[in-house]
Amino acid sequence: GTNWAGTPTIPTRTSSTTAPATRLRGTQTMRPGDNKWTMTIWGRDADTGKAKFGYQKTPHDEWDYAGVNVMILSEQTDKEGKKRKLLTHPDRNGIVYTLDRENGDLISANKLDDTVNWVKQVDLKTGLPVRDPEFGTRMDHKGKEICPSAMGYHNQGHDSYDPT
């Protein structure tokens, strides 16, 4: 299952989708492309269910990170002093994502720590992960010491946010 989140004051409900068929993972020949809209945080109109935004965290998920962890809703002031309604999602892929929960804009995407090695960084302009090919799963490459493992860096644990 996945987590759903929403508040009465914003007519958006958020949820996420999980990884594509795991048996075919890791090979571009059997399952080419990003596999849109897997591994995606969705924002939907609470009344109609129509998609308002979708952000794909791990395009072509090679490791079964799934991405169905908790979504923390908060209101915070950004660096420019603007109050924003945010969604923070610590993912099994080792990245903590923060999005504007009204329009889906990616605010930040940071590694939980330096041991996360499948990705060098997330490009905040494109929203895409910059992968390290050494830690990918391909038929012609035996990846070792990939972090996080398929169990995920941040798995099913609960999170909280204290605004004080």
Q: What is the mean pLDDT of the chain?
A: 81
Mean pLDDT, range 68-87, rounded to an integer: 88
Residue 78 a catalytic site member: no
Confidence of residue 134 (pLDDT cuts 50, 70, 90): confident
Q: Which among 3-12, 43-52, 113-122 has the top mean pLDDT? A: 113-122
Q: What are phi and psi of 79, to 5 degrees?
A: -60, -25
pLDDT at 123 (0 to 100): 98
* pLDDT number for residue 3: 64
| Structure tokens given for 143 | 């990846």
What is the full DSSP assignment across 102-162?
TT--EEEEEESSTT--SEEEE-TTT--EEE-GGGS-BTTB---S-SS-TT-SS-S------
Kindly report each contact of residues 87-91 with a partner whose C-beta sits within 8 Å and lies 24 or more positions away, as own/partner.
87/5, 87/14, 87/41, 88/161, 89/16, 89/41, 89/57, 90/154, 90/159, 91/57, 91/58, 91/65, 91/67, 91/152, 91/153, 91/154
Residue spans per domain, the chain: 5-135
Tell me how far CA of residue 54 lies from CA of 21, 101, 130, 135, 137, in angstroms. 20, 11, 19, 26, 26
Q: Residue 77: what are its φ and ψ, rounded to 5°?
A: -95, 130
Which among 34, 45, 47, 64 is annotated as catalytic? 64
Q: Whole-model pTM?
A: 0.83
Whole-number pLDDT of residue 4: 62
